Amino acid sequence: MIRPDRFLADLHHLRSFGASGVGRGVVRPAYSDPDVAARRWLADRMREAGLQVQVDAMGNLFGLAAGPSLLMGSHSDSQPEGGWLDGALGVIAALEIARSCAESGGPPVSVVSFQDEEGRFGVTTGSAVWSGHLSQAGADALTDHAGTPLASARAAMADMVTGPVDPAQFAGFIEMHIEQGPALDAAGEQIGVVTDIVGIRDMKITFDGRQNHAGTTPMHLRQDAFQAVSAFNTRLNDRLRNVVTPRSVWTIGHITLHPNASSIVPGRAVFSMQWRDAEKERLARMEEIIRDVAEETAAGMGVQVSFGQMLGLEPVAMNATLRRALEGAAEQIAPGAWRLMPSGALHDATNVSRLMPVAMLFVPSIGGISHAFDEDTREADLVAGLRVLDHAVRHAAGRNPQ
Ligand code: GLV
Ligand code: MN
Ligand code: MN
């Protein structure tokens, strides 16, 4: 039997690692001290549950049931300003299911907390390496915004590493997560069964202009890198309008100006350009427009543009058999209060789908808020999600989901 009290207590305990002091938020980026401390605590909980702990070179933490099993979990790293449930919910729910299955003769369930899902270094980096989407050498060469290479950051977990984990032992993967959007909360529903996960592209763009004096340089003689970013953004919003759908999104979320001083015309601007869509063709069309607009803007403003490494994941559909198991369980636990829905957020499940059948379950996010300290979900909804998982695992998903 699952124990909601134990599940909620563990979920709150995980929040204590990197607690932001603002609401229930956490600051627990991949390989930071709180992230590594949280993984050590999770490893102890896995051992207590009778699971064999293994950690691969990336720092993906597995608690393995003996023999073939169903894999469940998510990630326990956070955004630089993150909520307490993003990733953590899926890991702790998986722990409770694995624990209760072991206690009461249920199907064998293994647990995972993938590393750097939140992309301090890349895009869902830990599961990308585990699935073979990205090589270890390729990952090691990635740097965070401060210029730290992943290769040196992951040394923080070196003493925990046991070796590679063979995916062949898992029949499938189920990830529970908060929705991180407004649909379920707005409709007053409790459960979302995911149909597909959007694709993503992410790259850095650099405008190099001319650093100069902000008092003496006439406006018409400037090669201002920030003005180039600003003009690029306005043009891009206009030009994308003809190709996007209401589900397409694009974001400039990080920008560095050099030298970043009030009295200096910025000589260089480096910014992140990220876009997501459910269709691969549209992602490619958006890329063409982004590159064209950046080049046109640079030419018109007398600056140089350069493009960094492109990272990305393709859109993926969930496995029909596993999905049906979740649908059946949702109808049992939350009759009439669940829906099928796509995911606009990325998840480790995208990478894992390269290796085995995958499915995902959502619970509502209050006000649709996530990647923010005030992210939250009603306790009744957290427990309803756990019950749906439990029902699905015991009744169907444990059985050969091809
Ligand atoms: C993962 O958190 C994402 O960016 O969707
Ligand atoms: Mn997440
Ligand atoms: Mn996230």
Confidence check: pLDDT of 20 > 60: yes
Of the listed ligands, the closest to the CA of 375 is 3
**Protein residues placing their CB within 5 Å of the ion ligand 3:** 86
Ligand with the closest atom to the CA of 370: 3
Q: How far, in Å, is the centroid of ligand 1 from the Cα of 104?
A: 35
Q: Above 50 in pLDDT, residue 207?
A: yes
Q: How many Å apart are CA 212 and CA 329, to the nearest integer?
A: 64
What is the pLDDT, as a whole number, of residue 398?
52
The residues, ordered by sequence, that sit 6+ positions from 230 with a Cβ below 8 Å of its Cβ are: none
Q: What is the atom index within ligand 1 of the atom nearest the CA of 87?
A: 2
- Output the CA 218–ligand 2 centroid distance in Å: 47
Distance CA 375, CA 287 (A): 31
- Local structure of 244: helix, strand or coil: coil
Average pLDDT, the chain: 97
Using 50, 70 and 90 to split pLDDT, how confident is the model at 402?
A: very low
Retrieve residue 240's tokens: 């994308």
Instruction: Say which DSSP state 19 is in.
Output: B
Q: What is the per-residue pLDDT across 359-399, written as a single tens digit (0 to 9) for each?
A: 999 999 999 999 999 999 999 999 999 999 999 999 875 55
Q: Cβ atoms within 10 A of the Cβ of 77, count?
A: 31
**79 CA to centre of ligand 1 in angstroms:** 9
The SS3 call for residue 3 is coil
- Between the CA of 154 and the centroid of ligand 1 the distance, in Å, is 21
The CA 174 to ligand 2 mean position distance, Å, reads 13
Q: What is the pLDDT of residue 44?
A: 98
Closest residue to atom 2 of ligand 1, CA basis: 118
**Bridge partners for 26 per DSSP:** 19, 82
Give the ligand with the smallest distance to the CA of 114.
2
pLDDT for 397: 56
> Is the model's pLDDT at 13 over the cut of 60?
yes
pLDDT value at position 21?
Answer: 86
Q: Are 68 and 108 in contact (CB under 8 A)?
A: yes
**Residues of 121-133 as b/e, b for ≥16 C-beta within 10 angstroms?**
bbbbbbbbbbbeb
pLDDT at position 125 over 60: yes
- pLDDT for 195 equals 98
Q: Whose atoms come closest to the Cα of 119: which ligand?
A: 1
Which residue is listed with tokens 């307490």?
A: 84
Prediction pTM value: 0.95
Peptide bond connecting 259 to the previous residue in cis, omega within 30 degrees of 0: yes
Average pLDDT over residues 74-78: 98
**What percent of the chain has pLDDT above 70?**
98
Rounded Cα distance between 255 and 82, Å, is 19
What local confidence, expressed as pLDDT, does residue 399 receive? 53
Ligand 1 pocket at CB < 6 A:
118, 345-346
Q: Which of 89, 116, 118 to mutate to test the pocket of ligand 1 (most atoms within 8 A of CB)?
A: 118
CA 79 / ligand 3 centre spacing (Å)? 6
Taking CA atoms, 18 is separated from 24, 41, 105, 344, in Å, by 10, 13, 35, 26
Q: What is the mean pLDDT of residues 24-45?
A: 98
Q: What is the pLDDT of residues 142-199, one digit of tens each?
A: 999 999 999 999 999 999 999 999 999 999 999 999 999 999 999 999 999 999 999 9
Question: Does residue 314 come out as left (phi exceeding 0), alpha (psi in the -120 to 50 range) or beta?
Answer: beta
pLDDT at 243: 96
